[in-house]
Structure 1
Amino acid sequence: MITRRDVLSTAAAAFATYPAPRALAQPLSKTVHILTGFTPGFQDAMARLVAGQMSGYAETIVVESRPGAGGRIAVEAVKNADADGSTILFSPLGFMMFFPHVYRTLRYQPRDFTPVSTVASTPALLSVGPKVPADVKTLADFVAWCRANPRLATFGTPGAGTTLHFLGTMLGRSAGFDFLHIPYQGGGAIQDLVKGVIAATVMPIGSSLGLVQSGDIRALATTGPRRCQFIPEVPTVREAGYPSLEDLTWFAFFVPAKTPAPIVDKLNAAIQAAVRTDEVRAGMAKLAVEPDAIAMEDCARLIASESDRWKAIVQETGFVPTD
């Protein structure tokens, strides 16, 4: 393992078009589509940032949201696209290393894609809201409160069968209490946290950071291998005594598996160069993600190692794969 450290409908998607900057030699003449699997928001914004700086890869690059089926519609569309570099997937690595273990049937397999490059990573953030007393300030305090108030020990995430769902479940199992998962779509979990409907959330830092800074919710721990630069005062799960919860969400580009190597190489070079630009780094900081461009070979190894890890976690929790 290298490190651990959601518009419109599917048929009428949202687009962002960028004229490519000058110029690596011979950019693709046809329009390139970068597909994301969720409605325009956090992930869509990240894809737009990078697309705007993919120097010379194509004359026109379009970022297109195709939400549905937990992101799988976009993945399937790229799988079935022409393998000529003109249709690209931008997604969390979990679509490749995690989904095979939580869905009974998938219309794709990781082998149907070539990973090109990661662009960023982010830890998850465990936060509590007004349902939890103000004197609960640490993860240890929260665990003690959950044990003493089992009927109130609830947490929300963007959906069942996600890595965030399993991180919360693992906390409950590790700490010896029943941590009830409440799945949401989009930002519903954060809204209910602020309203005091649920006790906690496990969410990407970017979706929670503003509310932490405003004092509407309280951050207890991050899941990265080191403290997050955006909230350095918040300890990691390892520091809090739960190293098994350590995890990062990675975001990456993929193309259909039979895409010719020269095109993959050209795309990889364009992505890597884009992530190094000041524009992309500044934009990612606003989204509270860290630029992290791992190239093809290391990206493939990361997927393989994390897939093995998550397979074991899913089996251990007794989760029954869904359709």
Structure 2
Amino acid sequence: MATHLMVRRRDLLAASAAAVGIAFSAVSVSTVVAQSRTKTTYIMTGFTPGLVDGLARLVAAQMKDYAETIVVETRPGAAGRLAVQAVRAADADGSVMLLAPLGFMTLYPHVYKTLKYEPQDFTPVSIVASSPTLVTVGPKVPGDVRTLADFVAWCRANPTEATYGTAGVGNTLHFIGAMLGRSAGFGFLHVPYQGNAAIQDLLKGEIASAIMPIGSSLGLVQSGQLRALATTGPRRSSFLPDVPTMAEAGYPSLEDLTRYGFFVPAKTPADTVERLGRSIHEALSTNEVKSGMTGMSLEIESISTTAFAQLIGSESERWKAIVQATGFTPID
């Protein structure tokens, strides 16, 4: 009888200990998960609310497994450089990240005299989207100009009218135009604007052409108010399948995509970078993000962290050569 009771008591103690162990294990796991998700995370963008801000919000809404609260903060100024500097100075713990065009890392170092950051200050996490540039002409150019070859011929015949508008000085759009004029052998005057103002002046006939992201004039091209001559992508855009690429038009060296990617401070732990990258890639696979990208005239693009870093290196060399070839003088 005593032996029987002792066994039962021993069994009860063992079961109790196991239950306590399981309880502590459950609390420990849930605590770790909670701790990894409770801290507010910030996505910085370098522009006023618009395309990049909207892209950040679209992807962030599907990253609940990474953080419970993700705040998208616009930090415009200095052509986006203020946002980059803010992320550079942030804690390297995955709580602050940058969403920006790759040109911030691949072009800006060759354009600005003094840059308060270096590409090596950041770890590239993932590209999320890309968009080709579109060359369009408006009412200033005769209606029978329908191809890029036609436009080049018109520019040569009308040198004082050969102008193109972009969203500022020293960006990829600016240099695509400069290289088109250089490659085709005609003077192509650059007229810089802020935001999408170039499209408005193009419609009014103030400038002959615009070199802008495809989304800035897609509706106007589809409605026939503007004529699209070429896109800079490696293949025809799904949004304008009838418009040839620069390569098809005879200028393969002008192939270019504006890619948007996430970056974190360089010393961010590898496991945090991996977790963030996984969360981003899972977000890109959702129907919400896919349909949202289509609405923004963007195409989803995702590559590994290693491939992303290699791309930044090769693109930096490419843009360095382009800037030097155009004779551009670095600006403050």
Q: Cα offset for 1:213?
A: 1.0
Q: Does 1:158 align with 2:167?
A: yes
Q: Unaligned stretches of 5+ in structure 1? A: 1-23
Q: What is the rounded CA distance, in whole Å, between the counterparts of 1:293 and 1:177 in structure 2?
A: 37
Q: Is 1:147 matched with 2:156?
A: yes
Inter-partner Cα distance in structure 2 for 1:53 and 1:96: 26
Which residue identity is paired with 1:281? K
Give the letter aligned to residue 228 of structure 1. S
Residue in 2 that maps onto 1:78: 87
Deviations 1:226-254 (A, max 9, x none): 00000000000000001111001100000
| 1:215 CA drift (Å) | 1.4
1:95 pairs with 2:104: yes
Question: Equivalent pairs: percent with the same residue?
Answer: 66
Quick check: 1:147–1:177 contact (8 Å CA) kept in 2? yes
Find the aligned partners of 1:38 and 1:217 in 2 and give their Cα distance. 26
| 8 Å CA contact 1:25, 1:56 repeated in 2 | no
Instruction: Name 1:116's counterpart in structure 2.
Output: 125
Matched, 1:243 2:245: no
1:94-124 deviation per Cα after TM superposition (whole angstroms, max 9, x unaligned): 1001100000110000000000000011110
Could you tell me which residue of structure 2 aligns to residue 198 of structure 1? 207
Q: Deviations over 1:198-224 (max 9, x none)?
A: 000100001110111121111000000
Asked if residue 28 in structure 1 is aligned to residue 37 in structure 2, the reply is yes
Aligned residue number for residue 174 of structure 1: 183
Q: Does 1:37 align with 2:50?
A: no
Once residues 79 and 304 of structure 2 are traced to their aligned partners in structure 1, the CA distance between those partners, rounded to angstroms, is 26
The corresponding residue for 2:322 is 313
TM score, norm. by length of structure 2: 0.89
Is 1:256–2:265 an aligned residue pair?
yes
Say which SS state the counterpart of residue 160 (structure 2) adopts. helix
1:188 maps to: 197
User: Partners of 1:59 and 1:240 in 2: how far apart?
Assistant: 48
Instruction: Verify: 1:131 aligned to 2:140, yes or no.
Output: yes
More helix as a share of residues:
2
- Unpaired segments of 5 or more residues in structure 2? 1-31
Q: Distance in 2 between matches of 1:218 and 1:162?
A: 23
Over the aligned positions, Cα root-mean-square deviation in angstroms equals: 1.0
TM-score (normalised: structure 1): 0.92
Contact 1:117 1:268 in 2 (8 A): yes
Which 4+ residue blocks in structure 1 deviate beyond 3 angstroms?
24-27
Q: Following the alignment from structure 2 to structure 1, what is the Cα–Cα distance between the partners of residues 143 and 297?
A: 26
Q: State the one-letter code of the partner of 2:297.
A: A
Q: 2:294 aligns with which of 285, 294, 297?
A: 285
Counterpart in the other structure of 1:5: none
Please tell me whether Structure 1 or Structure 2 has the larger radius of gyration of its CA atoms: 2
Task: State yes or no: 1:298 paired with 2:307.
Answer: yes
Distance 1:143 1:302 in 2: 32
Amino acid at match of 1:44: D
Q: CA deviation at 1:28?
A: 2.5
Letter in 1 for 2:108: F
- How many residue pairs get aligned? The number is 300
In 2: Cα distance, 1:162 partner to 1:277 partner: 32
